[in-house]
Structure 1
Amino acid sequence: MAMEAREIERLIRAAFPTAQIEIRDLAGDGNHYAATVIAEEFRGLTRVRQHQLVYAALQGKMDGPAGELHALALTTKPA
């Protein structure tokens, strides 16, 4: 089942309310996205930890049995 870009943004925004978020559908299929997330909460964190926080915000949508989101290329940085 495909996932809409606005749903990805909604989940990320719930975890990072003041973040700048850009979501791009890479293949036009609702399964392959790229996201850029710029958030003050990332300050002082490694890139790996920043990505872990974004994946946690997706509440299992990537790795769950439903497989709603197949691929998400992440770019993160502090605001």
Structure 2
Amino acid sequence: MRALDALYQLIAPVPNAVRLRTAKVEGFTSSSATINLAGGSVSGVSYLASYTPAVGHTVLVAQTNAGVLVILGRAAP
């Protein structure tokens, strides 16, 4: 294997990776929320049925490589 190929395998993004991020709830409806993520507002974010959103909550958000976001629940204070 060439050194360049080995390096690529080490730094290439994993196709189905999921990142865990934190965000703050800015608003919500019965089916989605608006969050502040990394200083920007993102609307239409789904949340788990076991979580009841509230404005100001700091939440844990799963994000796929494709950019899909799902609120998993409130972060412990």
Q: Shorter-chain TM-score: which interval?
A: under 0.3
Structure (1/2) with the larger helix percentage? 1
User: Who wins on radius of gyration, i.e. which is larger?
Assistant: 2
Bigger RCO (CA 8 Å, 6+ sep): 1
Q: TM-score, normalised by structure 1?
A: 0.23
Q: TM-score, normalised by structure 2?
A: 0.23
Structure (1/2) with the larger strand percentage? 2
